Structure 1
């Protein structure tokens, strides 16, 4: 079992609480947080389970979901049956892009909704139009920022 400092434990908890607000399960949040704060970048199933005091099922579910969402991956080592899990650090820009593309998809639907709305609710319609314009603006600015970020290297 790894020994975490009080600061590392606190950071895992803060990271977990923040991500729970986005609907992620508590165990998944803590496992993801552990990958970010641990002194080692590759962790075994048992290290994760024992360090976070999770059940086998809870650890397995968290790891599977984190792999499905491309937050982590695992490697194997020749002659060792264990899987070593690690955080996928090289895909954060792509994941950010994909998440904001979902907002763009939402915005397409909101614009269709706006077109079909009754004219009897002008204030609501104006507010909805403002939302779509805001989402357009944020999406375009984020894509510009990502391109700038990618070309800085």
Structure 2
């Protein structure tokens, strides 16, 4: 069982590394996503990952600063128990989409500034990138509204919203 969870933490951790987390941050986050119950104390995380106290402390600090992880305490227990902060994490993901509009505006400037340059193939690639993000910018509000309607309908029907 332990070997299986270690392999799964490694697999999921590799994905989160690709999103910009350090290897230990990624594995810490993956461990918290997969642990049952979904909270672990500092020493359990450290023992599972086999990393130093300072490395785990730094990883948890960054994950908490990013809103991916928070902690709770229990009455009569001085330990902090860390868990994925699903609501804050979702908000962080949603907030990351707010950079699309400035990106589109910047790409428009870049494309405009390059209009008299000779490398038409490169300019076409940049216009394609600009068009892609312009499409995302236009469609994301609709997608989010549909998602909110679906959640509201599920809640009204007494189902757990997806």
TM-score, scaled to structure 1: 0.87
Count how many residue pairs are aligned between Structure 1 and Structure 2: 150
Structure-2 separation of matches of 1:26 and 1:80: 30
Instruction: Tell me if the contact between 1:103 and 1:135 (Cα under 8 Å) persists in the aligned partners.
Output: yes
Deviation at 1:77, TM superposition (A): 2.1
Instruction: Give the conservation status (yes or no) of the 8 Å contact 1:97–1:143.
Output: no
Say if 1:18 and 1:40 are closer, same or farther in 2 by CA, change over 3 A: same
CA distance in 1 between counterparts of 2:99 and 2:4 reads: 35
Counterpart-to-counterpart distance in 2, 1:92 and 1:21: 17
Deviation at 1:52, TM superposition (A): 1.4
Q: Which runs of 5+ in 1 are unaligned?
A: none
The match for 1:35 among 24, 32, 35 is 32
Written as runs of structure 1 = structure 2, the 5 A alignment for 1:4-23 is: 5-23=2-20
Deviations 1:68-102 (A, max 9, x none): 11000011222221111110112344222222222
**2:153 paired with 1:150:** no
Alpha carbons 2:39, 2:81 under 8 Å: kept: yes
Residue in structure 2 matched with residue 135 of structure 1 by the alignment: 133
The alignment's TM-score, normalised by the length of structure 2, stands at 0.83
Instruction: Map residues 3-152 of structure 1 onto 2, 5 A cutoff.
Output: 5-121=2-118, 122-152=120-150
Pairwise CA distance, 1:31:
0.4
Task: Give the Å deviation of 1:103.
Answer: 3.3
Distance 1:103 1:11, change over 3 A: farther
Q: 1:93, 1:146 within 8 Å by CA — same for their partners in 2?
A: no
Structure 2: give runs of 5+ residues left out of the alignment. 152-162
Answer 1 or 2: higher relative contact order, Cα 8 Å, separation at least 6. 1
Superposition CA RMSD, Å: 1.8
Distance 2:10 2:116 in 1: 48
CA deviation string 1:125-144 (max 9, x = no partner): 23212211111112332332
